[in-house]
Chain A
Amino acid sequence: MTVKPLPQPPSSRLTQTRIWLHRNLFNGWFNSLLTIALLALIGSVGVNFMRWVFTQAQWAVVTTNLRLFLVGRYPVDQVWRLWTVLAIVLALAGYSGWRSQRKKASAVGGSSNAQLLVAVPIALLVIFWLLGGGVGLARVPTNLWGGLLLTLIVAIASTVLAFPLGVLLALGRQSSLPILQGFCTAYIELIRGLPLIGILFMAQVMLPLVLPGQPNIDRVVRAIAGLVLFNAAYQAENVRGGLQSIPKGQTEAARALGLNLPLTLALVVLPQALRISIPAIVGQFISLFKDTSLLALFALLELTGMARSILAQPQFLGRYAEVYLFVGLLYWVFCYSLSTVSRRIEAQTRFRR
């Protein structure tokens, strides 16, 4: 059956375009002037930029060093291990996505997350074994990790490790025990008042000094330790936001059912609070992902540090714009897609409630 087209309004496509142009670009003399001036500006900037990209820029600095940007000096014959890690991560993500889809479709829900709770820690152990080696695999010391790989490892490891600490700090800050609350509040506010660079300095310099026997701690581990201490304070504030949005009736109901405090928190309050704080936690991860660039100032060769070390080579001297634009694009792709995901989650949870 053919559907008859609806009778067209008298305006043709051309007039519709004209109306759109009039409404959005030329409504009034001021906006018209603004439009024309901006068009001229965009045109000249765009043309110059394109000319630079295609004729003046020497992209060899990016193409010849692509491996360094992505995985650092990770041994070439061991790169299959990174592919395996990627496959594991994708498989896990796909599996949990599929589960949540199925849950939604069957509308039964309630099937426990036990499988994932077991699978994720095992996967993390396997991933660290694959990355670092040992026990049957060639060892790859952390000074060979670099580029995007190191950025991702540091960002993910410090988020995962900071999360439990953050939840505990948030619970402590919400606690009715004044001393406990005081300690947690003091820690959170102290850390949030300091610049990250200062905390990383502390982690690099002070950490070996405050541990017994002046241990020679790996630079990457020190960096992660600093980021965990920093990130936990911010995560705590995100979780606290979620905790505060849980109505008191929930706790009271749990108490009335005879649950004690730990069970009330674990079974009633935290599951709801954490779900509400997911967008804020993702936002914090994005922020942390960008903040890992500060490790470049502490001689780590993550993405920004790698960019600087490549720019220090004599044959690539002065190719700042090419390198920084490329690295910036890599950061942007990750952060922008994550923030899109976060916005979608936020919309979903709002819809469900």
Chain B
Amino acid sequence: MVRTASLWRNVKFWRFAGQAIAVIVVVALIGFLGANLNRNLAQLGIRPGFGFLQSQAGFAIGESLIPYSPSDSYSRALLVGLLNSLLVIGWGLVVATGIGITAGIARLSSNWLVRNLALVYVEVLRNTPLLLQLFFWYFAVFLTLPKPDNPIRWLGFSLSNGGVTLPGGLLLSTEFSSLLLGLSIYTGTFIAEIVRGGIESVPKGQWEAGRSLGLKPGQLMRLIIFPQALRAIIPPLGNQYLNLAKNSSLAIAVGFPDLYAVASTTFNQTGRAVEIMILISLTYLTISLVISLLLNLYNRRVQLVER
């Protein structure tokens, strides 16, 4: 028989064997690591479980969207952190998009000065670490501003080392402002390049047609070019949004109590490495998933529907 002779040459056999080996290796690895983890945790006297979340946190949190005091539980503290994270991500997405679109269009301006300023902005800030920029904004800029009783007033903004007051009277803390500014300006450089690429991908004929219809430059951009550029912009823009959400975890560098910062404090107090790791991972994965889901929905709307 041919079958018995050629087991070694049987594709089906190898496909099965390959997958079986993969499963065995992964299961063995997880089992090995899990067994070590169990033994090590037992030696440290830590019993795994999420019960500790109900005990009293005992640490204060600088700013919070919901009422919180140190006598509240760890779960409440982590919720405060999560809300703070969502707040900075939400604002960051808006501000970064604004900066990015402005700089991206400026990169294509007919004005030499505007074009090159945008180029310098992109090339300088894209090529230095975000963490360093956050330190710079917080320590070298915001903390050196004048005291709150003598703020710098500019366009309705009022800047001091106690925070930023927006034209509406809303006060943003120094930590939040420097994180928001750093995140948005850094992400803005990447968005600018995406916007520039998107606009450049629109065929020249579209510009010429728009101009010959008598549209003004602003109208031409808003009504003809940008909607078409969006098709090339949205998918990579989504990646930048995900990056911004993940990078918001650098809040700890400027002392803003986001989810990671609160979780890290919780770890220092309780030593619950595994539980906290799981909580952080699940939360960020959920945030990432929600953002990419929303972007996919929007992407389907802007993509070209052909006949």
Contacts and interface: CB of A to CB of B under 8 A. Distances in A.
Q: Do A and B bind each other?
A: yes
Interface of A: 23-25, 27, 31, 34-35, 38-39, 42, 176-180, 183, 190, 193-198, 201-202, 205-206, 208-212, 214, 286, 290-291, 293-294, 296-297, 304, 307-308, 311, 320-321, 324-325, 327-328, 331-332, 335-336, 339
A320 B110 contact: no
A331 B267 CA distance: 32
B89 to A, nearest CB: 11
B260 A331 contact: no
A295 B249 CA distance: 14
Contacts of A31: 110-111
A80 to B, nearest CB: 30
B132 interface: yes
B135 A324 contact: yes
Interface of B: 15, 18-19, 22-23, 26, 33-34, 36-37, 39-41, 43, 110-114, 117, 123-124, 127-133, 135-136, 139-140, 143-144, 242, 246-247, 249-250, 252-253, 260, 264, 267, 273-274, 277, 280-281, 284-285, 288-289
B81 to A, nearest CB: 13
Contacts of A209: 36-37, 40-41, 273-274
Given A24-B111, A198-B281, A202-B277, A210 B135 contact: no
B284 A194 contact: yes
B135 A214 contact: no
Given A34-B111, A193-B285, A294 B22 contact: no
A198 B139 CA distance: 24
Contact of A321 (B39, B136, B252, B260): B136
A198 B114 contact: no
B140 A294 contact: no
Contact of B111 (A35, A177, A324): A35
B140 A324 contact: yes
B289 A193 contact: yes
B36 A293 contact: no
A335 B136 contact: no
A301 to B, nearest CB: 14
By Cβ-Cβ distance, the 4 closest A-B pairs, closest first, are: A335-B127, A24-B112, A293-B129, A195-B246
Most chain B CB atoms below 10 A, which of A34, A198, A206, A214: A198
A320 B140 contact: yes
A78 to B, nearest CB: 28
Contacts of A27: 110-111
B57 to A, nearest CB: 19
B281 A194 contact: yes
A308 B135 CA distance: 9
Contacts of B247: 195
Contacts of B110: 23-24, 27, 31
B36 A177 contact: no
Contacts of B33: 210-211
A179 B33 CA distance: 21
B132 A304 contact: yes
B246 A194 contact: yes
A193 B289 CA distance: 8
Contacts of A308: 135
A209 B273 CA distance: 9
Given A179-B22, A286-B127, 12 more contacts: A39-B113, A177-B15, A193-B288, A197-B250, A205-B277, A206-B274, A209-B274, A210-B34, A294-B250, A321-B136, A331-B128, A336-B127
Q: Determine the main DSSP class of B at the interface with A.
A: helix
B129 A290 contact: yes
Contact of B136 (A39, A205, A324): A324
24 contacts: A25-B111, A25-B113, A34-B111, A34-B113, A34-B114, A183-B22, A195-B247, A196-B246, A197-B249, A206-B274, A208-B40, A209-B36, A209-B41, A210-B37, A290-B127, A291-B129, A297-B252, A304-B132, A307-B132, A311-B139, A320-B144, A325-B136, A331-B128, A331-B132
Nearest to A32: B111
A131 to B, nearest CB: 23
A180 B264 contact: no
Contacts of B288: 193
A193 B246 CA distance: 8
Nearest to A176: B15
Nearest to A24: B112
Nearest to B46: A209
B289 A195 contact: no
Given A206-B277, A209-B273, A320 B136 contact: yes
Contacts of B129: 290-291, 293, 304, 331
Contacts of B37: 206, 209-210
A332 B113 CA distance: 22
Contact of A177 (B22, B41, B246, B250): B22
B250 A180 contact: no
Contacts of B41: 209
Nearest to A37: B113
B255 to A, nearest CB: 12
A24 B40 CA distance: 68
Contacts of A197: 249-250, 252, 260
Contacts of A176: 15
Contacts of B34: 210
Nearest to B286: A193
Contacts of B23: 179
A332 B19 contact: no
